[in-house]
Structure 1
């Protein structure tokens, strides 16, 4: 397999990728916020004059509604300016290579954890929080089929599948 493509910077896709990577942590925060909110409601019902009940309600709402978008926005702000110029991506049998104008990263396929496929991209995971987004748009249909077959062939038949079909984030 030898696939080479230019990938322009896409802020919306970067935001979706960050939400994808942060999803497990944000889910926990939202659940805790929901529990805190319900606890606050119960305390208000039992004792409306208790200020702690209102604090629990407000904190619960913050955890459910405000913290996830703030976390993603903060993650967007701390991204390096290097990525804003787009990149050149090369996929071959041994390496995934990302070449930016000022930096280069290489990942061996042998370090692959899993691949999640969505309608627009593949999220290639090298660990729990290291996700490389491989967009489908710059690829031809033949390249998509070649890459999909390559990724499916990375795991032995008796192992768990490397590719999981996902929904759009």
Structure 2
């Protein structure tokens, strides 16, 4: 397998990459926030309807506010990542072989060996490549040809790297 394609200097592209990678890393904050907000809201309702309402109202309110803030943290970080990375648009490219993924961006280049890849998650726009438990990079699917996309999918499925949706 040998897949090679270019990445144009699109000002929106670095922001999309930053948003995808930060969204993966921050997904748990939404779940934790939802649980905290639900517990806080339930506690407030029970405190108001029962006789012991005044003692723990501050605790339930703090849980509710903390949960809402935790749910808003990930969208805020994604928004900041998109805004801050818009100025990093440079031409680049990918060179994907059976051994590794080589990435070039401007004058910088780097690579990841397939032996170090733990799993790959699929989104409509990107393949998210994980090294260990952390997302290390993305491969832009929309910049690849349909044939290269299927070839890469078959290669990753053969190695057992694709996670089920």
Same fold? TM cut 0.5: yes
Instruction: Provide the residue aligned with 1:130 in structure 2.
Output: 135
Instruction: Provide the residue aligned with 1:99 in structure 2.
Output: 104
Which sections of structure 2, spanning at least 5 residues, go unmatched?
A: none
Structure 1 residue 72 and structure 2 residue 44: aligned? no
Question: Tell me, what secondary structure is at the counterpart of 2:102?
Answer: strand
Instruction: Provide the residue aligned with 1:116 in structure 2.
Output: 121
**Partners of 1:59 and 1:24 in 2: CA distance:** 14
The structure carrying a bigger helix percent of its residues is: 2
Which sections of structure 1, spanning at least 5 residues, go unmatched?
A: 155-160
- Residue from 16, 22, 27 that aligns with 1:18: 22
Q: Is the 8 A contact 1:86 1:100 kept in 2?
A: yes
* Correspondence list, 1:17-56, <5 A: 17-46=21-50, 47=53, 52=58, 53-56=60-63
Distance 1:13 1:90, change over 3 A: same
**Partners of 1:127 and 1:163 in 2: CA distance:** 14
What do residues 42-63 of structure 1 show as CA deviations (whole Å, max 9, x unaligned)? 3344426865143443333323
Aligned length: 158
Q: TM-score scaled to structure 1, two decimals?
A: 0.75
Distance 1:12 1:151, change over 3 A: same
Q: Which moved more, 1:125-134 or 1:37-46?
A: 37-46
Q: CA deviation at 1:79?
A: 5.7
**Partners of 1:34 and 1:105 in 2: CA distance:** 44
Q: TM-score scaled to structure 2, two decimals?
A: 0.76
